[in-house]
Structure 1
Amino acid sequence: MGELQEKLKLLPDSPGVYIMLDKDGIVIYVGKARVLKNRVRQYFHGSEKPEKVAAMVEHIADFYYIITKTEIDALGLENNLIKKYKPKYNILLKDDKTYPYIKVHTKEEFPRFSITRKIKKKDGKYFGPFMGGIRCKEILDVTSSVYNVRLCDVAIGEKPKKPCLAYHLHRCLAPCAHLCTKEEYAERVKKAVSFLDGNYEEAEKLLREKMMQFAANEDFELAMEYREKLAMLSKLKLRRITSLNRCINADIIALKTNYLYSAVNILITRSGIMQGGSNFALEDASLSEADALTAFIIQYYSAHEIPEEIITAEYCEKELLENFFLEHFDKKVEVVFAKQGVRRQLLEMAERNAEDYLSKSIDKIKHKDDMTKNACARLKEILGLKRYPKRMECYDISNISGVDKVGSMVVFSDGEPDKMSYRRFKIKTVEGANDFASLQEVLKRRLSKLGTAEEARFPKPDLIIIDGGKGQLSSVEEIFEEMNVTDIDLISLAKQEEEVFTPYRSDSVRIDHRDYVLKMLQRIRDEAHRFAITYFRSLHSKRNLASVLAEIEGVGKKKQIALMEKFGTIDKIMHAGIEDLTQAEGIGEELAKRIKTYFEEKL
């Protein structure tokens, strides 16, 4: 503690980011400060601290800091370092639950409309997110039925194409067939965008007219289809918040905490319509609710659409956030402190949701901790590991009779999957079915990244787990010795008896089947196996597809690649029509007929 006290005296008055380390040198917390000296010293003063902060301070063995020009720069750097290190005591949002949006590809000459779950800044116009019982596909279906905009990704060139079924069903103006002018199509796009903006009256009128027309012609099936579309529009209209400006796109964010765990509720409104909401359970060692809320907002909007307004509590760092969004995203966002009216009512609703979710989530969070972080700490004790296994990598090999050999690497951070860090390996140097040699190749390629410029992308693991028994473990030990790797722990998990093997014991370690430690090891092992099998099947399917296509006269290597890129599997090519086949590059009508005939006669 004496060394820490000396470092505290040397802290500067500048803005910046501070990084807390435990005794193993692992980053356990990252924070930002307007004045580094004042903020960092708060952790070590004798004043009473929130329970989570006190627990973190007990584990701080060292810290360092990075000075930034402004607090806004510190906020951006803090977010990047949290993503990089995934510290135990920071808010860590998972991106696995993303809602769909409708994207208008405005950069195209004839903009198409599509469904996406990823937002790219300054790349088209997005509407959504769609949640809470409203299906994005149904909205898109109404858009094409009423306004005849295109949903396909067919390239539109100088040469007109043959109109597809959508044109004959009056769901597209067929700009690809040059059956409408650019101005006519632009007018339809303008109306479709207005509809997606929440102006449903024209669409409702046109749908009702079509429904009555089909009913009069006794085409009752189509009439019922249009009745269902009208019902869906009615459901959307019921979500309109009448006293909220239609032009406002706002997110309402509320945080509730018991100073050990926290919950955040977000309500999303677009064009005055309540789209739905999301809840997040958090663990965080921030010194204040303002810090926790700011950290959440920055992380959340690095992966979600940024609204024009954020309605939240008065303790939010308004000016800092507004400047951050303007500087980093070139987006003017107004942070609103709701004191009265409809905005206040919406914030109170979000606060009630957050409080309710917190009260119901505490047991779940504790159970999750037992299965993840606490299991990691216990694994260190049971196996006598050198350090807490924050980053674990597990490896598996997959092949059939030595064909299409692949390896997988999956990564768990603090006991949870870090899917962005997963990697796949195509085995290059091993002949035949030799899992030991294949593992050695994969580990040699992986470990060669250490100590190079690529280590930033492939951080050093604390523990490597091999799917297999003593033999697989020994083969990887040879690579460790060859490459002089001494600071990474190594174990293997054998499936049949669920035995754990380590390099330092001749006998296996048997962990109780009810123990969360074994369950965590099984999760990472099974995930590595799944990831390897998925990659193997993908390669094997493509190789088989290429060999079948090679038998068809006129289908050379380039055309095989074009068909594979377009359809992906034999099954899809077999069931494709002649017109569909001609959509692949280089496939004319005659060759498409030959391919169709081949599959009808031979398969």
Structure 2
Amino acid sequence: MLAVDAGAELAAAQLLKVRGGKVLGNEYHGFEQLELADAGEAISAFIRDYYAEASLLPREILVSLLPEDTEALEEWLSSLRQGPVSLRAPQRGEKRLLLDMARANLASHMEADLREQRESREQGKAVLEQLAGALGLDRLPFRMECYDISHFQGSQTVASMVVFEHGRPARGDYRRFKIRDIVGPDDFASMAQVIRRRFEAAREGREGFNQVPSLVVVDGGKGQLSAALSQLAELGFDDVSIVSLAKREEEVFVPGKSQPVVLERDDPALKLLQQIRDEAHRFAI
């Protein structure tokens, strides 16, 4: 039994595993960053994702709504099972009652999920307000990008780009860059190169790079900050705020100031900068 709902804020699926009229399992699955037109598309996406990894496939899958590609799905599922699999949307009887139970469970779980997401966003907004105030930003950094340079075996250099939206990781937007044509480890030149490549891609409207951050964070000190800032200015992205975070003393440097911005070690704003910096380092390696 599969009930799926796709709303403006959340898409989710409730899966009841039934055999002989008895419920053997009840699973809730929330979708992240879905861009689906309706519940039919959500059902199709879930079936393809879930059953591609399933060890056992049922002969019949009861769904709250038959998707447009039902025939193609049945053919694909049958090939995986090496036997016939059918999709059905029951309108009456015991199977309909079980499906209604799945829908009720789904609605309850989605309500709790949405409440948790909204509370998390409110908490995240409060931290972003603290960060904007501490750094003197003229807008909240709803989209933050952090860049880290890593060296492997003394020769290969890789830059990572990680993205936080509303204070939370947006892992689908993470990127890695192989640094080109730079001899030896040179963090300043490498930082300049990755910033130029990323924002040239934004200026060209390249897919995956067309969202411009409200705040760029670079791992390092004044040198890395200066290298990145010069590229933003050359490419015409002067309105993008930028800071650097130096790991040794966790100092935050901003353009135009010789002394770092001092944030207390337990300041939520500093912890957010540390979180995105540490995530960039983890992703690089």
TM over 0.5: yes
Q: Higher RCO, 1 or 2 (CA under 8 Å, sep at least 6)?
A: 2
Q: Is the 2:28–2:109 contact (alpha carbons within 8 Å) kept by the matching residues of 1?
A: no
The structural deviation recorded for 1:528 is: 0.6
Please give the per-residue CA displacement for 1:462-506, whole angstroms capped at 9, x wherever unaligned: 221101122211121122233332132211122233332221433
- CA distance in 2 between counterparts of 1:330 and 1:265 reads 19
The aligned residue for residue 444 of structure 1 is: 196
Using the TM superposition, give the Cα deviation of residue 341 of structure 1 relative to its aligned residue in structure 2, in angstroms: 2.5
Q: Which has the larger radius of gyration?
A: 1
1:470 matched residue in structure 2: 222
Choose which of 5, 15, 25 in structure 2 pairs with 1:267. Answer: 15
Look up the match of 2:3: 252
2:43 and 2:136 map into 1 onto residues whose CA distance is 38
What corresponds to 2:104 in structure 1?
Answer: 351
Partner of 1:305: 48
**Letter in structure 2 aligned against 1:252:** A
How many Å separate the matches in 1 of 2:146 and 2:10? 32
Residues 390 and 462, structure 1, Cα contact 8 Å, conserved in 2: yes
Matches within 5 A, 1:512-527: 512-527=264-279
Q: Aligned pair 1:502/2:235, yes or no?
A: no
Contact 1:263 1:355 in 2 (8 A): no
Whether the aligned pair in 2 keeps the contact of 1:265 and 1:278 (CA below 8 Å) is yes
1:491–1:502 contact (8 Å) kept in structure 2: yes
| Superposed CA offset, 1:534-572 (max 9, x none) | 2xxxxxxxxxxxxxxxxxxxxxxxxxxxxxxxxxxxxxx
1:254/1:347 contact within 8 Å kept: no
User: What's the offset of the Cα at 1:527?
Assistant: 0.9
What is the aligned residue count?
258
Indicate whether 1:277 and 2:23 are aligned: no
Contact 1:265 1:351 in 2 (8 A): no
In the other structure, the counterpart of 2:185 is 433
* 2:143 counterpart letter in structure 1: R
Q: Distance in 1 between the 2:165 and 2:63 partners?
A: 31
Given that 2:127 and 2:269 are in contact with CA atoms closer than 8 Å, whether structure 1 keeps it comes out as yes
Residue identity in the other structure for 1:383: L
Deviation digits for residues 436-477 of structure 1, max 9, x if unmatched? Answer: 1111121122222122152x3212222211011222111211
Q: Residues 467 and 376 from structure 1, CA distance in 2 versus in 1: closer, same or farther, beyond 3 angstroms?
A: same
Aligned partner of 1:407 in structure 2 is 159
Change (3 A) 1:502 1:356: same
Q: 2-side partners of 1:512 and 1:412: how far apart?
A: 22
More helix by share: 1
One-letter amino acid of the structure 2 residue matched with residue 490 of structure 1: I
Q: Which amino acid is 2:260 matched to?
A: S
Q: Distance in 2 between matches of 1:404 and 1:328?
A: 45
Checking the alignment, whether the CA contact within 8 Å between 2:121 and 2:166 is kept in structure 1 is no
2:232 maps to amino acid: F
Secondary structure at the counterpart of residue 305 of structure 1: helix
| Contact 2:62/2:88, CA 8 A, preserved across alignment | yes
Structure 1 match to 2:171: 419
Q: CA deviation at 1:295?
A: 4.7
CA distance, structure 1, for counterparts of residue 267 and residue 88 of structure 2: 49
Relative to its length, the structure with more strand (as a share) is 2
The alpha carbon displacement at 1:517 in A equals 3.0
- Written as runs of structure 1 = structure 2, the 5 A alignment for 1:105-144 is none
Equivalent in 474, 479, 491 of residue 243 of structure 2: 491
Provide the residue aligned with 2:209 in structure 1. Answer: 458
RMSD: 4.0
Amino acid in the other structure paired with 1:457 = G
> In structure 1, which of residues 364, 375, 388 is the aligned counterpart of residue 127 of structure 2?
375
CA contact (8 A) 2:15 2:28 kept: yes
Q: Displacement, 1:378?
A: 4.1
Contact 1:498–1:510 (CA<8 Å) still a contact in 2? Answer: no
Structure 2 distance, partners of 1:415, 1:408, is 18
Corresponding residue of 2:55: none
1:243-263 Cα offsets, whole Å, 9 max, x none, are xxxxxxx313479x9xxx989
- State the Cα deviation string for residues 400-428 of structure 1 (Å, max 9, x = none): 58422211111222322222222212222
CA distance in 1, matches of 2:134, 2:39: 35
1:389 maps to 2:114:
no
In the alignment, the residues of structure 1 paired with residue 72 and residue 165 of structure 2 have an alpha-carbon distance, to the nearest angstrom, of: 28
CA displacement 1:304-358 (0-9 Å, x = unmatched) = 43885323xxxxxx6xx74x44699799965445x65343145336525753785
Once the two structures are TM-superposed, the CA of residue 531 in structure 1 deviates from its matched residue by 1.4
Q: Percent identity?
A: 33
Native 8 Å contact 2:62 2:89 kept in 1: yes
Aligned to 1:529: 281
What one-letter code is carried by the residue in structure 2 that aligns with 1:525?
R
Q: Distance in 2 between matches of 1:421 and 1:435?
A: 23
Distance 1:267 1:482 in 2: 53
Residues 299/523 of structure 1: CA separation in 2 closer, same or farther (3 Å cut): farther
**Unpaired runs of at least 5, structure 1:** 1-249, 283-292, 312-317, 535-603
CA contact (8 A) 2:163 2:173 kept: yes
Structure 1 stretches of at least 4 aligned residues deviating more than 4 Å after TM superposition: 261-265, 270-275, 293-297, 324-337, 356-359, 361-364
Contact map agreement 2:216 2:241 (CA 8 A) in 1: yes
The answer to whether the 8 A contact 1:262-1:358 is kept is no
- 8 A Cα contact 1:411 1:422, kept in partner: yes
Give 1:394 deviation, angstroms.
0.9
Q: Residue 151 of structure 2 contacts residue 185 of structure 2 at CA under 8 Å; is this kept in 1?
A: yes
Distance 2:131 2:97 in 1: 48
1:341 partnered with 2:94: yes
The gaps in structure 2 that reach 5 residues or longer are 50-59, 76-85
